[in-house]
Amino acid sequence: DHRFARRSVVKLADLRDESFLSFKPGHAIRDFTDALCREVGFVPNIVFEADESNSIRGFVNAGFGVALVPQTGTADDAPSIRIADERAQREVGIAWLRDRTLTQAEAAFRAFVVRAQPLLG
């Protein structure tokens, strides 16, 4: 029922009067969210803080507010709306030592990240 629920894109400034669900202070995404909001001229009204995005998404689903969370590429019930602001992106990297043999799990994870990169970018 949220006014943005059927939109695919929204400007961050449009969220100025919304209740925010966010990560706890010190979390990288919280710091990123706070900085983005400051850049467009507001401090988010944070009504709930959590340690992980599934909790936040659950509260969004329940209608308690909006949240900036990383795009996961998984389907859930919460509408996923892209933030139009150019700065609302972040780069995530992966690195490994060339001279060190990766375990099977490490090699599988690296292959997954490399395959998923075009989908996430």
pLDDT tens, 38-51? Answer: 999 999 999 999 99
What is the average pLDDT across 63-91?
76
**Longest Cα separation, the chain:** 54
Lowest mean pLDDT segment, chosen from 17-26, 29-38, 72-81, 99-108: 72-81
Higher-pLDDT residue of 102 and 69 is 102
What is the average pLDDT across 64-81?
74
Residue showing tokens 């690296």 = 110
pTM: 0.72
Tell me 82's DSSP state. Answer: E
What is the average pLDDT across 9-38?
93
Instruction: For residue 68, give the nearest of 120, 121, 11, 26 by alpha carbon.
Output: 11
Average pLDDT, the chain: 85
